[in-house]
């Protein structure tokens, strides 16, 4: 049931919806949190050997919100092993 929900949500995705956790103009944390959540979600589900489709939501949101240069910088840091966030 959950899997169909998430597929529906992903199919109808236009842009990042309002997130009450980040109500103000500065959306930096919104971007960063979804970037973290995507990688944490991927890590946990891959470790269990499960399908990582639910993690797609986080990827869509951070792709909508984050400046591309930030995404590239963080991806480079992840590759180098210098990313400061806790995954």
Q: Residue numbers of the site for another protein (CB under 8 A)?
A: 28-29, 32-33, 36, 70, 74, 84-86
Query: Which of these, 2, 62, 4, lies nearest to 35 by C-alpha position?
Result: 62
- Smallest separation, CB 17 to another protein (Å): 22
- Smallest separation, CB 7 to another protein (Å): 30
CA–CA dist 14, 49 (Å, integer): 29
- Smallest separation, CB 84 to another protein (Å): 3
DSSP-H helix ranges across the chain: 2-11, 28-48, 56-65, 68-80
Residue placing its CB nearer to another protein in the complex, 9 or 19: 19
């Amino acid at each position: 049931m959950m899997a169909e929900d998430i597929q529906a949500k992903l199919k109808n995705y236009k842009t990042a919806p309002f997130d009450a956790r980040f109500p103000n103009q500065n959306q930096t944390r919104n971007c960063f949190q979804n970037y973290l959540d995507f990688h944490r979600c991927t890590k946990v589900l891959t470790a269990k050997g499960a399908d990582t489709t639910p993690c797609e939501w986080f990827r869509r949101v951070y792709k909508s919100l984050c400046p591309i240069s930030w995404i590239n910088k963080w991806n480079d840091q992840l590759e180098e092993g210098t990313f400061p966030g806790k995954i």
